[in-house]
Structures are given as C-alpha cells and as structure tokens.
Structure 1
Amino acid sequence: MRKINYIAVHCTATPQTTSIDSIRNYWKTNLKWKMPGYHFIIKPDGEIVQLLDISKVSNGVFGHNHEIINISYIGGVDKNNKAIDNRTDSQKATMLTKLKELKKQFPNAIIQGHRDFKGVKKDCPSFNAKKEYENI
C-alpha cells in the first residue's frame, strides 16, 4: 500500500448538474490523463462513487499524487464560474462520513483542501476544508 500523507478535498469546479461521465471524459480527452483526478466523487444527492482504488495514484494535486487520496464533490462554482461553497447537505454528510473512514484507515494523514498545498493557485474546494475537518 502507498504511504498516505494527505487526504485532499476537492470540488469539480463544474455546475452541480455535471455528470461523472462528462468529468471523466474531460480528464481523458482534454487533459490526456490515463487515471482519474479523484479516488472518490460525491454527487449532489450524496451518492459517493469510487473512481479508482486507493492503492492507485490519481491526478488530484500535481507533485503530491503519490501521497494523497483525493475526494471531490460535484460543484464548487456559480453560474459565472466563480468559487462558491454550494455543497448540498447530502454532499456534506457523505464527505464527513468518508473522511472519518479514511482518517481511521490513515490516522496520520492530514485532511486539507487542494488550495492548501504549496504552490496551488486555485480556490478548490471553494471552502476551508482544513478548518472544517480539523477535528476528525
């Protein structure tokens, strides 16, 4: 198993109506990625979908992917593509449950947002994940 130092929280930076298939297609077609950007993605209704086994490396945070589990919610931007915390209550509940589960499995891993990694110039996940999940 990989050494997991971080659990990175993301938003897809898409409308909440965006399908997982279209997100995957964007990664493959536009970004030319062979692996998905996240291990888990949470739909607006709270359903969590595993895109990649956690033993494999996803493409969530450049330069850190070898040491991260990436989890995202669909959303994170308004109609003008400006960062906004538009998580549904269901997404919040599922995220919290999954983070607790992952933290139990990887007790030394730091939970933080994509934006909290050095050199990242994004608002992702459009809220302060480090603060919100500091007590997990």
Structure 2
Amino acid sequence: MRKITLIVIHCSANKAGSALRAADIDRYHRSLGWKCCGYHYVIPTDGTIEAGRPPEMTGAHCKDHNSHSIGICYIGGLDNDGKKPKDTRTEAQKAALRKLIEQLHQRYPKALIVGHHDLNRQKACPCFHVTAEYIDLQP
C-alpha cells in the first residue's frame, strides 16, 4: 500500500465552462503513452466526482511527488479567452472538491493538502490558494 503524504489539487488549464470529463483526460493521457488518466479524481463543471486512476496506483500528475500523493483535477482554470489563469470553479465544483478532500482527509489524515503550484512554482495551477482554502483540514 502506498504511503500518502500529499493531496495535490490541479486544474485542467481549460477555458471556463469547458465540457471536459475524466474520460476525455484519460483518452488524452493514453495518447501520450500513459497507462490511463494521470489524476486519481476529476471534477467537471457539474460537480460530479469522477474516478481517474485508482488510488492504489501511483499517479502521473506532479513530478517528483507522484509516488506519495493523490491527484485531483477540476476542469477549468483559464479565463473565458483561455489565456490567463483564473479560478473558474463553479459552486458545484467547489462543493464537490470540499467533499472529496474531506473524504480523503479521513482516509489519509496526515496528508498535506496543497496546490500543484505549491510544489512547482512555475505553475499557476490550480489558480487558487489551496492551503488557505482548506486550512481547517490540514494535519
């Protein structure tokens, strides 16, 4: 069993309102030669929590941290023009993300909840301050 020390939040870097789903990301990641979707969970704009890679399987979402993390990706993260990073989460996505993180926090109580940009300063992803938003769930 993997020892999970991080829950890493990502955005898909798509325009606000994008209709992408986990199956779309899975197809894209497979086209790159990957085994399957690199994220463990994907949250489309309607707030559905969709399964990606099984949690028991090492992810492919955050270089140097995949072996000990769970990756969650919300669809969006760019403004309407698709040019600038922006927190585009819908209310449904915010609620679903909180619910999923709470569940994962129960399962992995010592895991830090971070944004991709906290581990790779060159990234804007996920376009909001994860550690501040989920301060109440941090170990």
Alignment TM-score, normalising by the size of structure 2: 0.90
Check the 8 A contact 1:11/1:75 in 2, yes or no: yes
Q: Which runs of 5+ in 2 are unaligned?
A: none
What does 1:69-80 correspond to in 2, within 5 Å? Answer: 69-78=70-79, 79-80=81-82
> Aligned-pair distance for 1:23?
2.1
**Is 1:18 matched with 2:20?**
yes
Supply the distance in 1 between the matched residues of 2:22 and 2:50 (Cα, whole angstroms). Answer: 9
Per the alignment, residue 128 of structure 1 pairs with: 129
The root-mean-square deviation of aligned C-alpha atoms, in Å, is 1.3
Task: Give the whole-Å Cα distance in 2 for the aligned partners of 1:20 and 1:50.
Answer: 7
Residue 88 of structure 1 corresponds to which residue in structure 2?
Answer: 90
User: Residues 35 and 58 of structure 1 are in contact (CA less than 8 Å); yes or no, is this contact kept in structure 2?
Assistant: no
Comparing 78-87 and 5-14, the one that deviates more: 78-87
For residue 43 of structure 1, report the CA deviation from its aligned partner. Answer: 1.1
Q: In structure 2, what is the equivalent of residue 2 of structure 1?
A: 2
Contact 2:22 2:52 in 1 (8 A): no
Paired with 2:36 and 2:66, the residues of 1 have a C-alpha distance of 11
Matched, 1:61 2:62: yes
| Aligned 1:9-48 pairs, distance under 5 A | 9-15=9-15, 16-29=18-31, 31-48=32-49
Moved over 6 A (4+): none
Matched, 1:109 2:111: yes
Offset at residue 26 of structure 1 (A): 2.0
Which amino acid counterpart does residue 35 of structure 2 have in structure 1? K
Separation (CA, whole Å) in 2 of partners of 1:5 and 1:83: 27
1:59 and 1:37 mapped to 2: Cα distance?
A: 4
Deviation at 1:120, TM superposition (A): 4.1
SS of the counterpart of 2:29? Answer: helix
TM-score (norm 1): 0.92
Residue-by-residue CA offset, 1:60-111 (whole Å, 9 max, x unaligned): 1011100000011100112233110010000000000100110111010000
Gaps of at least 5 residues in structure 1 are none
Quote the offset at 1:24 in angstroms. Answer: 2.0
CA contact (8 A) 1:113 1:124 kept: yes
